[in-house]
Amino acid sequence: MTVLSPEDCAVFEAILGPDGVVLDRADMGAYAVAARYGAGRPAAVLRPRETSEVSRLVAHCVARGLRFIPQSGNTGLVLGSTPDNSGREVVISLERMTGALEVDPLDRTARVAAGVRLSALNAALEPHGLFLPIDLGADPMIGGMAATNTGGARFLRYGDMRRHVLGLEVVLPNAQGEVLRLSGGLRKDNSTLPLRQMFVGSYGLLGVITEVTLEVHPRPAETAAALLIPRPHAVLELLVALEAEAGETLTAFEGMSRGAMDKAFAHVPGLRNPFPNGEVPDYAVLVELTRSAPARDGQPSLDTHLESLLAGIAARDDTPLADALLGPADHLWALRHALSEGLRAAGAVVGFDLAFRRSAVFAFRAAACEQLASRFPDYQVCDFGHVADGGLHFNLLRAGGDAEAPARRAELRATVLTLAIEGFGGSFSGEHGLGRANQDTYERFVPGPVRRYSARLAGVFAEGSVGAFRLSTEP
């Protein structure tokens, strides 16, 4: 049973025209399924083209008490962009909000409508020698990236969306569908409280982001990459050595376990195994150096520079480096980007998006592997992650398929999360944000006062019910 009355549908159609309102169950299918989860059931899918339309839709939903969920590329991994099964939640899809895409090379900024894809933005930036350096294995929309504060594989050098958002336009969930415009493109602005930052990483809970102004960067003129095999227990020492030797040219340091790499080689068609004799090491690190200024006459190429600095590190008495394979960056990144796909193809994965102080990543990993080996020996650890910024996609793959009792799976989740958060001071959501998939974890692990103030702060902006997640305050 839908909660929408014929009058609601008439209002939506008057705002958007008939092609902007999707009510047919089959047509709503694509908006109901999230990247990694099963389907929910939208009451309707609304597809505005302009901010004024978003404003009128939001005002109507608030007036009628309808919960609505902003949805962009729908690549989020925590069930934040799709409705539940009640048939009572409306999806506002930003996919047709693609009108604005203005590049300003002098300011080195881009003003972008929320529904523009990352790939489309980068295609528009390329002729200007610019790019948005947030790199991930999906192609989300800019509004969704701001709403989730996307991190990605080059966080180490460039940071997350928060560091790039210089301005925002957002429609607030109130009876007027008020449009708030925050700092249009200023790099420095200390004239107000930092409201703009409230909306970066707000997971659709504070309103609908309709436009974003971003700082963008010069494209790399030269890239060099290598797969490094660290000595046992020496990944962080290797990172510190590289940071000292490569300076700001170091753009990525991505850890990959043998379990994760094996699954990618086994299941992703066409993926090349670069290791000598195909022997996959226990752990490897993909390292990337980039230079945005072209090499000058006589300056060694970046490949040569990388090779010589690795040779220097390898020659140290206490070297953290066991071996290194240099190769075309594209080939090496293909392995990194294939890890998720390989795991999904291999079977049922219990996944965690953890983050730690980076000094705690491998201490946690060792303790978790030990606990799992004794209590959950049927699970294989197939982790990978942006370890230079403390990120760890701690994935567990169950041998022999996915027929697992829900209670044991819940026990496994609780074991890992308790160790990560209470044992090692980690976060249960390093970069994927909040959604229905981690609602229980939020309630269990986020301290009461933090939840209480978060809910109060959200109430300042949101009069209506917005977003898939609930900022609960219950103990």
Residue in 431, 437, 438, 461 binding ligand FAD, rule: CB under 6 A: 431
Nearer Cβ to ligand FAD (73/320): 73
- Site map 35..54 versus ligand FAD, x via CB under 6 A: x-------------------
| Contact flag: residue 280 with ligand FAD (CB under 6 A) | no
Mask for 204-223, x = binds ligand FAD (CB under 6 A): x---xx--------------
Instruction: Examine residue 320 and tell whether it contacts ligand FAD (CB under 6 A).
Output: no
Question: Using the rule CB under 6 A, is 138 a contact of ligand FAD?
Answer: yes
- Tokens describing residue 250: 């170091």
- 51, 55, 122, 150: residue in contact with ligand FAD (rule CB under 6 A): 150
Cβ proximity to ligand FAD: between 321 and 458 the closer is 458
- For the bound state, the minimum distance from the C-beta of residue 392 to ligand FAD, rounded and expressed in Å, comes to 12
Alpha carbon of 331 to those of 66, 187, 380: distances in Å? Answer: 48, 36, 26
CB atoms within 10 A of CB 274: 17
In whole angstroms, how close is the CB of 204 to ligand FAD at the nearest point?
Answer: 3
Q: What track of x and - describes contact with ligand FAD for positions 105 through 124 (by CB under 6 A)?
A: ---------x----------
Applying CB under 6 A, the span of 55-63, 201-209, 227-235, 261-269 interacting with ligand FAD comes to: 201-209
* The only residue of 42, 259, 435, 464 in contact with ligand FAD, by rule CB under 6 A: 435
Per-residue b/e over 75-90, b at no fewer than 16 CB within 10 Å?
bbbbbbbbbeeebbbb
Long-range Cβ contacts of 312-317 (<8 Å, 24+ apart): 312/245, 313/238, 313/241, 313/242, 313/245, 316/241
Please state at what angle helix 302-314 crosses helix 235-246, rounded to 10 degrees.
Answer: 130
Site string for ligand FAD, 343-382 (x = CB under 6 A): ----------------------------------------
**Closer CB to ligand FAD, residue 376 or residue 461?**
461
> Cβ closer to ligand FAD: 169 or 303?
169
94/360 with CB nearer ligand FAD? 94
Contact between 429 and ligand FAD (CB under 6 A)? no
Q: Does 336 bind ligand FAD (CB under 6 A)?
A: no
- How near is the Cβ of 148 to ligand FAD at its closest, in Å? 4
Least gap, CB of 366 to ligand FAD (angstroms): 24
Q: How far apart, in whole angstroms, are the C-alpha atoms of residue 165 and residue 96?
A: 21
Q: Which residue number places its CB atom closest to ligand FAD?
A: 144
Contact window for ligand FAD (CB under 6 A) among 8-16, 76-84, 239-247, 443-451: 76-84
Which parts of this chain interact with ligand FAD (CB under 6 A)? 35, 69-77, 80-81, 94, 114, 136-138, 140-141, 143-145, 147-148, 150-152, 203-204, 208-209, 340, 431-432, 435, 467-468
